A and B are shown apart, each in its own frame.
Chain A
Amino acid sequence: AQSVTQLDSHVSVSEGTPVLLRCNYSSSYSPSLFWYVQHPNKGLQLLLKYTSAATLVKGINGFEAEFKKSETSFHLTKPSAHMSDAAEYFCVVTRNQAGTALIFGKGTTLSVSS
């Protein structure tokens, strides 16, 4: 069965320092993986998507993620945090190869201090 585990429920960083949000996945087939971000009282916005092309995926707002099959990981990184990055981040895997449903991790809340 497909699943994702976000290893940290809360991450705090200072503005200008690197961001690392960790995600491990379990999949019985070659998965599609996503990172979505949700700002307070807003819907979900797609940050980036992995679909078996390049293992290093670049997304919006300077975020990127690396797919590591040997470690079953898909960690999200950003070289330098900005105050506007404060939000909740979700690591997501498709439930089946048809991509019918998304399975969400529990989310990681990112706090950015000045």
Chain B
Amino acid sequence: KAGVTQTPRYLIKTRGQQVTLSCSPISGHRSVSWYQQTPGQGLQFLFEYFSETQRNKGNFPGRFSGRQFSNSRSEMNVSTLELGDSALYLCASRVASGTQETQYFGPGTRLLVL
């Protein structure tokens, strides 16, 4: 079974631009979560989607948003990019929300904001 895939793997943007990242979960997984990894803050939860609905949100500004499609694929959007948004963005999928199911991570998208 294929793992979680994320596209693109690398991205360079400039301040003020917006960016969209994509995540395809493991087949049969309906929950997708997003995390941001930076050297200073470590790994932080952004949000989780299940059945096209946001189920939970971390402590990030409204510039960070996401959505999930009927095939469980998810996109994350960051508007008005800031230098501090440079990070590795990780997507994780699991079978369902509301359980202690293991989350499986993709390889991440590395975003550099200049």
Docked complex Cα distance between A28 and B41 (Å): 24
Query: Judging by beta carbons under 8 Å apart, are B33 and A101 in contact?
Result: yes
Q: Total contacts A to B, CB within 8 angstroms?
A: 52
Q: Which of B4, B98, B108 contacts A99 (CB 8 A)?
A: B98
**A residues within 8 A CB of B55?**
100
Digitize B81-114: 1 where CB-to-A-CB distance is under 8 Å, 0 elsewhere. 0000000001010000111111111111000000
**A residues within 8 A CB of B97?**
98, 100
* A50 shortest CB reach to chain B, Å: 10
Binds A, one of B11-19, B42-50, B63-71: B42-50
Query: Judging by beta carbons under 8 Å apart, are B98 and A100 in contact?
Result: yes
**B residues within 8 A CB of A49?**
102
Instruction: Bin chain B's interface residue count.
Output: 20 to 34
Instruction: Bin chain A's interface residue count.
Output: 20 to 34
Assess whether A11 is interfacial by the CB under 8 Å rule.
Answer: no
Query: Judging by beta carbons under 8 Å apart, are B48 and A101 in contact?
Result: yes
* B62 shortest CB reach to chain A, Å: 18
Digitize A74-114: 1 where CB-to-B-CB distance is under 8 Å, 0 elsewhere. 00000000000000001000110111111111110000000
**A residues within 8 A CB of B102?**
34, 46, 49
Query: Judging by beta carbons under 8 Å apart, are B99 and A99 in contact?
Result: yes
User: Known interface pairs A42-B107, A44-B105. Does A100 touch B56 (Cβ–Cβ under 8 Å)?
Assistant: yes
Assess whether B28 is interfacial by the CB under 8 Å rule.
Answer: no
Query: Judging by beta carbons under 8 Å apart, are A100 and B48 in contact?
Result: yes
**B residues within 8 A CB of A73?**
none
**A residues within 8 A CB of B100?**
32, 51, 94, 97, 99
Query: Judging by beta carbons under 8 Å apart, are B107 and A90 in contact?
Result: no
**B residues within 8 A CB of A36?**
105
Assess whether B8 is interfacial by the CB under 8 Å rule.
Answer: no
Query: Judging by beta carbons under 8 Å apart, are B106 and A43 in contact?
Result: yes
11 residue pairs of the A-B complex, CB under 8 angstroms, read A43-B106, A45-B105, A46-B102, A95-B45, A100-B48, A100-B55, A100-B56, A100-B97, A101-B45, A102-B45, A104-B43
Name the 7 nearest CB pairs between A and B, nearest first: A104-B43, A44-B105, A101-B45, A43-B107, A99-B100, A100-B56, A32-B100
